[in-house]
Amino acid sequence: MKKATLIVCTILILDQVVKFWIKSTFYMGESHALLGQWFYLHFTENEGMAFGMKLGGNYGKLLLSLFRIVAVIIIAWWLYKVTKKGAGTLLIVCISLILAGALGNIFDSAFYGIIFNESTYQQVATFLPATGGYGTFLHGKVVDMLYFPIIESHYPSWMPLWGGEEFIFFRPVFNIADSSITTGVLILIFFQKKVFTPLRESGTTENPITNP
């Protein structure tokens, strides 16, 4: 369990340190190239679901935040359970990465609306402003800053619907927490046999839904 705790705490602290720095020093939309035209720090905020999608206004935002909290509880329980069952290191690392990323984004949603005022194109947000934050508990925005426009081109003119329009890979702006979740999930998907073999050998196939 110490290994899982170390992974979760390290990623969570790193994620929040970067987000605090970006939120308190960047204007909304501010961008700085770090690796030529391939990697930018580009400040934006995600008001709801992945890739900036929203879910039914304030009530949808609250529902999404509560769903995230429930998901984190399930993931944390799963991590605790497989650790006690003697799961392999790779499975523990994967679940820890997913848990750390989920916690990082939940922290934004839960508290950033309270501890920061609004970031705008003319104003850098202030930590614990005297006039209060821009939102309430569970109504904060998730801070994103990692942008990798590795390929910038245009769709062929003959292509239906998008012909001639700009094409960028990779367009979404994300954060360390998102990266942590994605890494954990991809390892689980592409290395299933190696990840779950120790559990199968011990006669246990852990799943937080079907094996309570």
Distance CA 162, CA 95 (A): 38
Active-site residue identified among 15, 45, 108, 178: 178
3-state secondary structure string across 32-72: EEEECCCEEEEEEEECCCHHHCCCCHHHHHHHHHHHHHHHH
Active site residue 178: yes
CB-neighbour burial class of residue 150 (10 A; exposed 0-12, middle 13-18, buried 19+): exposed
* DSSP notation for 165-183: -EEEET---B-HHHHHHHH
Q: Is the separation of the CB atoms in 37 and 149 below 8 Å?
A: yes
Active-site residue identified among 15, 45, 108, 144: 144
Nearest to 30 by CA among 11, 44, 14, 48: 44
Two structure tokens written together for 14: 């790193």
Catalytic amino acids?
144, 178
